[in-house]
Amino acid sequence: MSTLVFRAKKIITMNPSLPEATHIAVRAGRILAVGDEASMRALGDYQLDDRFGNKVMMPGLVEGHSHALEGALWAFLYLGFYPRQDPNGKTWDGIETVEAMQQRLQDAAERAPAGEPIIAWGFDPIFFRERELDRHALDAAVSDRPVVILHTSCHAMTVNTAALKQAGLDRHAGVEGIMLDAEGRPNGSIKEMAAMHAIHEGLGINLFDSVSKPEGLRLFGEKARRVGVTTATDLYNPLTDEGIAALQEVTAADDFPLRLVPAMTTLGRPVDEGIERLRACRNKGNDKLYFGLAKVMTDGAMTAYTARLNWPYYHNGQPNGAWNASPEELKGIVHAYHQAGCQLQIHANGDEALDIMLDAVHEALEMWPRPDHRITLQHCQLANQAQMRRAASLGVCFNLLMNHLYFWGDIHLEHILGYERCQRLNPSASVARHGIPLAIHSDAPVTPLGPLFTAYVACVRKTAGGQVLGEHERLNVPQALEAITLGAAYTLRLDHLIGSLEMGKFADFAVLDRDPLVCGPDALADIRVEATVVGGRVHEC
């Protein structure tokens, strides 16, 4: 069997026993050896690939909390506040006014067949507080067909009157999360999963099921390739029969540039049925597809005012957030899936939600002790020191939504959290000090997929407006790089296969135009990914 040796100016291995190298040998898609040129001679005959001889290599980046919607949603209209690059490399301008949003909707309606619904995503009403975004604002743009806009948080949407009527929700339907106007009629604001499901059901269109289509998964792979990601999660997958078949089809292709780790959503299905479905998937994976994760969705998102916060709640006096199921139901889900041996990935955005989930994990471990469980608490954006001490004692992992600091830090400071809580927003340095296994993430498509940008945010902690929030919670560059490689791999129970460049692991690399350990934290976001290598196969960017 032939051996291929890649040479680079520098190889960052994330292996403390051999932190740097210049050559890496690959055989049968795995790493055969790492070292210098002299060490390669011991391998006998090999083929040298010198195309990256003046570049820097590091382990393929691992996105431990993302959604394949990052690829699938580009089939619909983008209405985000910030400019955004699609999987094909095209940059879409941001929407900075309600009028601009209305114009983009009108343009889309003119291009679409008569009566076809207009589906859009990425809009964020929190940037437009001077004007309420309700069904009337959408009606003014398009009234002759349903319009559905998924907010950037993916925890809320706004729909027009036609969409409410078609879903049978133009009168109050008694569904929690369908918000009402002063006259008691639905105003077009839809919050959290149960209410959004009612819209999906009425229209016969489920945006979250769009990840069950091969084309959306392929676009997700393209986006990942462009930003150096070689392994990524789809952390809210319904795992329908169609979806499982799509995952198998796409990942079986030799040229697909990504290892996928779907997490099955536990809401909306009986617990026993969900556990059995996960068990049935265990033997359906391959080298680029890993089943076994179960996702528990507790509260919502702070920017949608649906995260559950402890007192004093929201800084601007907004009512406290929403549960996606009652706390007792959520605890029951945690207990059942843990008892069944599933690995839990638990969404807990607000600190009240984190308290409830720490209680649930504590109870589950008391009843069914399990060493090396790697239960991962996702987001944990307001974790305080007491919660972190408790988390460390329970042996859980944290995966922090670091990009939130950049995109919404200014809004958090002024409206959502205030000064003190913003200093511990996504407290990554404290998590590391407490010895809690740490990953950091984008939650794509909530924020753009791009772990080097996420590492930049973790190191500098600057908002889009240039303010520094929580300077004492900064990571250094080596810590940030570990959080987007080996740290994230650990939370997925894949650190024996990916996350560092060591003999026996998959030959997954990111090829960079400069050295992140030398260029400094401020330059991390500007590093260009030249290529990825997945299982020894090169994917040029």
Mean pLDDT by 10 residues, the chain (541 residues): 95 98 98 97 95 98 97 94 95 92 94 92 86 86 94 90 86 75 85 84 81 93 98 95 97 97 95 96 96 97 94 96 95 98 97 98 98 97 98 98 97 96 98 98 97 98 98 98 98 98 98 97 98 97 86
- Structure token pair of residue 311: 């007192």
Q: How is residue 350 annotated by DSSP?
A: S
What integer pLDDT is reported at residue 347 of this predicted model?
A: 98
Q: Please, is 17 exposed, middle or buried when counting C-beta atoms within 10 Å of its C-beta (0-12, 13-18, 19+)?
A: exposed
Closest of 279, 321, 320, 271 to residue 296, by C-alpha: 271
What integer pLDDT is reported at residue 173 of this predicted model?
A: 61
Question: What span, in angstroms and rounded, lies between the C-alpha atoms of 257 and 366?
Answer: 41
What integer pLDDT is reported at residue 172 of this predicted model?
A: 62
Residue found under tokens 């009606």: 139
Q: Are 121 and 207 in contact (CB under 8 A)?
A: yes
Question: What span, in angstroms and rounded, lies between the C-alpha atoms of 500 and 227?
Answer: 17
What integer pLDDT is reported at residue 383 of this predicted model?
A: 98
* Predicted TM-score (pTM) of this structure: 0.95
β strands within 284-423, DSSP E: 293-297, 343-348, 376-379, 397-400
What integer pLDDT is reported at residue 66 of this predicted model?
A: 98
Beta bridge partners of 49: 6
Instruction: Give the three-class secondary structure for 456.
Output: helix
Domains, the chain, in order of start with CATH, read: 69-208 (3.10.310.70)
Taking phi over 0 as left and psi of -120 to 50 as alpha, with beta for the rest, 59 belongs to beta
Helix H segments across 177-315?
192-203, 214-226, 241-252, 271-281
